[in-house]
Structure 1
Amino acid sequence: MERIADVSIDGYQVQCRIVARDGDYRVRVTTRRKLASGRPEDIVDVPSPLIFESEEEAERHARNLMLSVRGIRASGKPVYTIL
């Protein structure tokens, strides 16, 4: 898995990764929020339903996806702007 981005938004650490499986590529966004004690609290894995034939296409989608994150819901799921 290749990490495309790792940013902090609304108290959450947001990571975007490319996952290769059987010659196809997928994008996976993960959000994490830490408790005051420093240990991880919420980890939300948000896989994209899209499948890409090339790693380059998946990387382009991942970058655009990360640029469109405008906030994080209380559930830990990202809120995206419409591009």
Structure 2
Amino acid sequence: MKSILVASDLSSRSKPAVQRAVQLAEGSGAALCVLHVVEDDLLEDRMRHEIRSAEDYLTDQVAGFGKPPACDVAVAMGHAFHVIGE
């Protein structure tokens, strides 16, 4: 396994998926990308706030699980279904 993508909606239900992805990345040496998608129908100021909040939350969450060496936290804008698939 070379890379792992885990998507999070920042809910408590996503936490075990992120934790497992971190474990898999650490065990296999795979690069990890933790992705959250912010819907693009928000006002610009609100969207910037949502992006910063999501980045901070996911960075802290991943660090709490033992951040693998090759780990990126990405927050994208759009419709989650389409962005995750891309």
* TM-score scaled by length of structure 1: 0.28
Would you tell me which structure has more strand in proportion to its own residues?
1
Would you tell me which structure has more helix in proportion to its own residues?
2
Greater length-normalized contact order (CA 8 Å, ≥ 6 residues apart): 2
